[in-house]
């Protein structure tokens, strides 16, 4: 994925955490806005000690999602364990309802029907 | 064109017209809470995942890990799956998270998404002469009759029929339109040049200058003619159709072609490894990370809604709402298979029960996009339809019907109340049980005459 927008470059996790992390990490010297790849990697080594709560799984795993394989697809084998994946993790959005409200703001059914 | 997005800011007669949200305002609204970010970071660090990047709103985290680590992270098992057409994907049918993250994470992909970004242009493209509906009447309106015939419908006919033939752009140089290519589809510039020289000569030079944007190693628009082998593989067929129509219709708007590849970024031997990317999501997150967007983006790729899990459909759909809030109208094809599939035995649910059902398309089923259906004829334009069988060119052609139906994932939005009630009432229970009338109805909002010729 080519990231052309500089704002989507590798960045530090939320600043609050970074500060906490920097406090416990003696591995690397950095300023929170200037994290590079390697600095971030080293930093993470010290990360586990930084959280106020124990890092080991706080709760047990349970199935988040099941989805039947569509009928035109069949399972034909296992995957090489070293095969690389680009996983995209969608975090719950903070205020989507407000975004939807702003999208529809002031629209009436009358506006829509009239233009058909 | 009859109707814009269901959105006041897109309605020229509304007092909030043009007052879209900015890139920053949208990102601010959708960014996760600090608590969500903390908890997810904690989980990733604890599992040894320390390198990641974010979408600008931080509502998506991208990580690049091997299958073995992903299986531990999600307590799952990935397999290689093959479609009956031979294409393969690395996916799973179930994955897990620690309970305390179930409300913090909506979806993680690729896991359970089996969507294939199939081009929606069926095989009309094979026809040299069309199947002519028996009751077809040529247009009686003199202006339209002069430029429009049943087949082929030309750019000049479109522009006359839809009233843009004498339109003078008010802000030339500012209006932009984009179209999307997947599955290694890419436009072929020499073909497009030839088409435009014939059908919109003033736009012909744009065939060489329109912008090609490559995402995840998607192929750039080609300056060279196709090789015989590429031609046989129908490379560029959908992309050319889209490029020729967009350039022919919208000149002198600036045109952007977005080609999204299928390979994961860090895999050098992609010739032999299966496709593990989820290109739709890669595309959506790319486009949302741009601070300047085209005002219109056209997307002719989709799949049956039930090939994707609901959580994925919802998040991708929310991304289209973000585009809409920023003032970009996202046009989506309604599908090529009417209410289901050419083969009725494929019209069964994917929930293990194998019940008979109509098959809505995604992303057409998302209530934040503007769905475009296909029409034919002129007075009146009617929904495009063609039976399967031997065509006038002596070759066997498949069934075609412009897509429609009711979503199973998205509830009926307020703007369909009333209109859909009347429609449902008139159905008088026809095919009841094959669809859910309380959900979003895929009524194509805008229609486009289908009988076009492609070069």
What is the separation of C-alpha B267 from the centre of its chain, rounded to a whole number of angstroms? 27
Letter string b/e over residues A12-31, b meaning 16 or more CB atoms within 10 A of that residue's CB = bbbeebbebbbeebeebebe
B309 contact residues in A (CB cutoff 8 A): 65, 67
| Stretch A12-28: mean pLDDT | 35
Quick check: A106 and B15 CB within 8 A?
yes
Bond preceding residue B252 cis, omega within 30 of 0: yes
Which tens digits make up the pLDDT trace of B232-288? Answer: 777 888 899 999 999 999 999 999 999 998 654 333 343 345 556 678 899 999 999
pLDDT reading at A31 higher than 90: no
Task: Tell whether B261 is within 8 A of chain A (Cβ).
Answer: no
Nearest to B308 by CA among B113, B51, B35: B113
Strands (E), B292-431: 296-299, 301-304, 329-333, 361-362, 370-376, 382-383, 385-386, 389-390, 396-397, 400-401, 405-411
Strands (E), B356-438: 361-362, 370-376, 382-383, 385-386, 389-390, 396-397, 400-401, 405-411
Which tens digits make up the pLDDT trace of A51-99? Answer: 444 445 578 999 999 999 998 899 999 999 999 998 999 999 999 999 9
Task: Tell whether A4 is within 8 A of chain B (Cβ).
Answer: yes
Give the model's pLDDT for residue B150: 87
Q: From the CA of B420, how many Å to the nearest CA of chain A?
A: 12
Q: What are phi and psi of B83, to 5 degrees?
A: -80, 155
The residue whose two tokens read 């029960």 is B353
Nearest to B449 by CA among B143, B154, B142, B133: B154
What percent of chain A lies above the pLDDT cut of 90? 32
Task: Tell whether A95 is within 8 A of chain B (Cβ).
Answer: yes
Give the model's pLDDT for residue A47: 43
B124: tokens are 């009309």
The residue whose two tokens read 């019907």 is B401
Q: Which residues 130-169 on chain B approach chain A with CB closer than 8 angstroms?
A: none
Task: Tell whether B444 is within 8 A of chain A (Cβ).
Answer: no
The partner residues of B109 in beta bridges, in order of sequence, read: A88
B122: tokens are 């069926």
Q: From the CA of A26, how many Å to the nearest CA of chain B?
A: 17
Task: Tell whether B53 is within 8 A of chain A (Cβ).
Answer: yes
Bond preceding residue B48 cis, omega within 30 of 0: no
Task: Tell whether A60 is within 8 A of chain B (Cβ).
Answer: yes
Closest CB to A44 among B45, B93, B265: B45
Give the model's pLDDT for residue B254: 96
Task: Tell whether A33 is within 8 A of chain B (Cβ).
Answer: no
Task: Tell whether B359 is within 8 A of chain A (Cβ).
Answer: no
Task: Tell whether B18 is within 8 A of chain A (Cβ).
Answer: no
| Nearest residue in chain A measured CA to CA from B319 | A96
Give the model's pLDDT for residue B401: 84
In the 8-state DSSP scheme, what is residue B344? Answer: G
Question: ipTM beyond 0.90?
Answer: no
A35 contact residues in B (CB cutoff 8 A): none
Quick check: A58 and B98 CB within 8 A?
yes
Q: Which residues 74-93 on chain A approach chain B with CB closer than 8 angstroms?
A: 74-93
The model's pTM: 0.83
Task: Tell whether B366 is within 8 A of chain A (Cβ).
Answer: no
Give the model's pLDDT for residue B208: 98
Quick check: A104 and B315 CB within 8 A?
no
Give the model's pLDDT for residue B129: 62
3-state secondary structure of B319: helix
Q: From the CA of B198, how many Å to the nearest CA of chain A?
A: 33
Q: Are B402 and B307 in contact (CB under 8 A)?
A: no
Q: Are B212 and B259 in contact (CB under 8 A)?
A: yes
Q: From the CA of B179, how many Å to the nearest CA of chain A?
A: 18
Give the model's pLDDT for residue B446: 65
Task: Tell whether A49 is within 8 A of chain B (Cβ).
Answer: no
Q: How far is it, in rounded angstroms, from Cα B313 to Cα A58? A: 29
Handedness of CA B430, B431, B436, B440 (dihedral sign): negative
| Nearest residue in chain B measured CA to CA from A52 | B42
3-state secondary structure of B205: coil
B352 contact residues in A (CB cutoff 8 A): 68
Among B41, B113, B270, most A C-beta atoms within 10 A, so best to mutate, is: B41
Task: Tell whether A97 is within 8 A of chain B (Cβ).
Answer: no
The residue whose two tokens read 């296909």 is B374
| Nearest residue in chain B measured CA to CA from A61 | B98
Q: From the CA of B96, how many Å to the nearest CA of chain A?
A: 4
The residue whose two tokens read 């309106």 is B141
Among B5, B29, B342, B350, most A C-beta atoms within 10 A, so best to mutate, is: B29
Nearest to B298 by CA among B359, B363, B237, B236: B363
Task: Tell whether B104 is within 8 A of chain A (Cβ).
Answer: yes
Averaged pLDDT, groups of 10, chain B, 455 residues long: 42 62 96 97 94 95 95 96 86 96 97 79 52 85 92 91 92 91 90 96 97 93 90 83 94 95 47 62 94 94 90 96 95 86 83 89 93 87 80 69 91 90 92 90 68 58
Give the model's pLDDT for residue B314: 96
Q: How far is it, in rounded angstroms, from Cα B180 to Cα B238? A: 10
Quick check: A10 and B53 CB within 8 A?
yes
In the 8-state DSSP scheme, what is residue B258? Answer: E
A55 contact residues in B (CB cutoff 8 A): 42, 45-46
pLDDT reading at A16 higher than 50: no
Give the model's pLDDT for residue B340: 82
Give the model's pLDDT for residue B233: 77
Angle at B42 between CA B38 and CA B43, to 5 degrees: 120
Give the model's pLDDT for residue A4: 36
Nearest to B104 by CA among B46, B60, B55, B40: B40
Categorize the per-residue pLDDT at A18 as very low, low, confident or very high, splitting at 50, 70 and 90.
very low
Q: Are B409 and B305 in contact (CB under 8 A)?
A: yes
Categorize the per-residue pLDDT at A100 as very low, low, confident or very high, splitting at 50, 70 and 90.
very high
Q: From the CA of A19, how many Å to the nearest CA of chain B?
A: 13
B13 contact residues in A (CB cutoff 8 A): 111
Pure H helices in B151-309? 155-161, 189-199, 206-209, 228-232, 237-250, 279-288
| Nearest residue in chain A measured CA to CA from B87 | A73
Give the model's pLDDT for residue B452: 60
Nearest to B78 by CA among B68, B63, B65: B68
């Amino acid at each position: 994925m080519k990231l052309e927008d500089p704002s989507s470059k590798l960045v530090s996790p939320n600043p609050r955490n970074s500060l906490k992390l920097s406090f416990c990490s003696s591995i690397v010297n950095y300023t929170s806005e200037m994290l590079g790849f390697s600095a971030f990697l080293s930093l993470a080594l010290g990360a586990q000690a930084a959280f106020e709560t124990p890092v080991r799984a706080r709760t047990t795993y349970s199935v988040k999602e099941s989805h039947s394989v569509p009928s035109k697809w069949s399972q034909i084998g296992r995957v090489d364990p070293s095969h690389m994946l680009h996983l995209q993790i969608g975090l719950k959005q903070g205020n989507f309802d407000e975004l939807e409200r702003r999208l529809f703001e002031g629209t009436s059914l009358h506006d829509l029907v009239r233009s058909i | 064109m009859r109707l814009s997005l269901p959105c006041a800011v897109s309605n020229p007669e509304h007092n909030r017209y043009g007052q879209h949200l900015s890139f920053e305002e949208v990102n601010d609204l959708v960014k996760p809470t600090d608590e969500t970010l903390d908890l997810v970071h904690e989980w990733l660090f604890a599992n040894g995942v320390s390198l990641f990047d974010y979408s600008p709103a931080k509502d998506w985290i991208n990580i690049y890990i091997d299958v073995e680590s992903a299986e531990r992270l999600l307590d799952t098992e990935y397999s290689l799956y093959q479609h009956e057409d031979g294409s393969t994907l690395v996916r799973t049918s179930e994955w897990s998270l620690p309970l305390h993250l179930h409300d913090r994470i909506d979806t993680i992909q690729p896991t359970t998404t089996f969507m294939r970004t199939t081009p929606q242009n069926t095989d009309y493209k094979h026809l040299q002469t069309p199947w002519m509906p028996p009751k077809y009447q040529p247009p009686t309106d003199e202006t339209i009759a002069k430029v429009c015939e049943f087949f082929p419908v030309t750019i000049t006919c479109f522009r006359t029929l839809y009233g843009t033939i004498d339109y003078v752009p008010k802000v030339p140089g500012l209006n932009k339109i984009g179209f999307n290519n997947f599955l290694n589809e890419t436009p072929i510039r020499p073909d497009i040049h030839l088409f435009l020289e014939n059908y919109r000569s003033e736009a012909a030079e744009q065939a060489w200058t329109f912008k090609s944007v490559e995402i995840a190693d998607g192929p750039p628009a080609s300056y060279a003619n196709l090789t015989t082998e590429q031609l046989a593989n129908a490379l560029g067929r959908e992309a050319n159709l889209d490029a020729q129509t967009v350039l022919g219709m919208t000149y002198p708007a600036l045109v952007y072609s977005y080609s999204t590849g299928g390979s994961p970024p860090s895999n050098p031997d992609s010739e032999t490894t299966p496709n593990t990317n989820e290109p739709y999501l890669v595309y959506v997150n790319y486009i949302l990370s741009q601070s300047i967007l085209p005002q219109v983006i056209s997307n002719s790729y989709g799949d049956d809604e039930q090939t994707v899990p609901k959580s994925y459909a919802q998040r991708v759909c929310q991304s289209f709402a973000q585009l809409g809030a920023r003032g970009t109208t996202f046009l989506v094809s309604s599908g090529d298979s009417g209410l289901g599939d050419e083969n009725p035995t494929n019209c069964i649910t994917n929930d293990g029960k194998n019940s008979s059902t109509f098959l809505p398309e995604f992303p057409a089923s998302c209530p934040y996009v503007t769905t475009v259906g296909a029409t034919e004829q002129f007075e009146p334009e009617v929904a495009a339809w063609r039976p399967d069988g031997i065509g006038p060119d002596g070759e066997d052609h498949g069934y075609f019907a412009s897509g429609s139906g009711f979503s199973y994932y998205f509830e009926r939005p307020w703007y369909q109340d009333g209109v859909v009630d009347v429609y449902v009432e008139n159905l008088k229970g026809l095919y009841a049980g094959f669809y859910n009338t309380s959900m979003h109805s895929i009524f194509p909002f805008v229609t486009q005459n289908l009988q076009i010729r492609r070069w």
